[in-house]
Amino acid sequence: MNRTAAGIVAILALVALLALAGCGATETTTTTPPPADDGLSTGSRLAPGLYDLGDGTAEAVGTLQWIDLEGGFWAVIGGTEATGDVGTTIAVIANAAKDDPAYVALDGSVVRVVGERMSGVSVRMAGPEIEASSIEGFSDTPAAYE
């Protein structure tokens, strides 16, 4: 085998090795939502869902609803008729009482709940649970500009 052919074989072997190494690699991605705006509608927002934030907390986006099951609990609900998953529980809020004014005032509204994911067994068995540290409502309707 001459030097040129040996060089080509070496290059092909290196390319094959790199390709095989790339096949075994795994990639982990975390969805990080953009920072909250000032309350005015910007024309876009996160789709309903549960997102992991960079600081170890989680953010649930969806419609706040009281679920009267197993003693009752507040939950963030999502889904659409188009996708056939209306009423899907995005997150159960573990530390909110039924008569908590912050939650009662936002019942049926689109909300953003930030808190820590809870692990372990739950009596609710309705979806992932978070211990909320904050809740805020927002609207798709732009504020009137003066």
Query: β-strands 129-137, 88-93: how paired?
Result: parallel
91/57 Cα distance (integer angstroms): 13
Gyration radius from the chain CA atoms: 24
C-beta separation of 58 from 52 below 8 A = yes
Whose structure tokens read 């530390």?
Answer: 95
Q: What pLDDT, on the 0 to 100 scale, is given for residue 113?
A: 96
Q: Please report, for the chain, the start and end positions of each structural domain, with discontinuous segments joined by +.
A: 49-137
According to the model, what pLDDT value does residue 30 have? 45
Q: Can you give the pLDDT at residue 9?
A: 75
What are the tens digits of pLDDT across the range 35-74? 544 444 444 567 889 999 999 999 999 999 999 987 899 9
Q: Going by CATH, does the domain composed of 49-137 fall within 2.40.50? A: yes
**DSSP β-bridge partners for residue 114:** 59, 134
Spatial distance between the Cα atoms of 48 and 37, rounded to a whole number of angstroms: 17
Spans of the chain below 70 pLDDT: 1-2, 7, 14, 16-45, 80, 120-125, 140-146
Task: Note the pTM of the prediction, 2 decimals.
Answer: 0.62
End-to-end CA distance of the chain: 82
Dist. CA 50–CA 57, nearest whole Å: 11
Positive or negative: CA dihedral 117, 29, 84, 39: positive
C-alpha triplet 105, 110, 111: angle, nearest 5°: 75
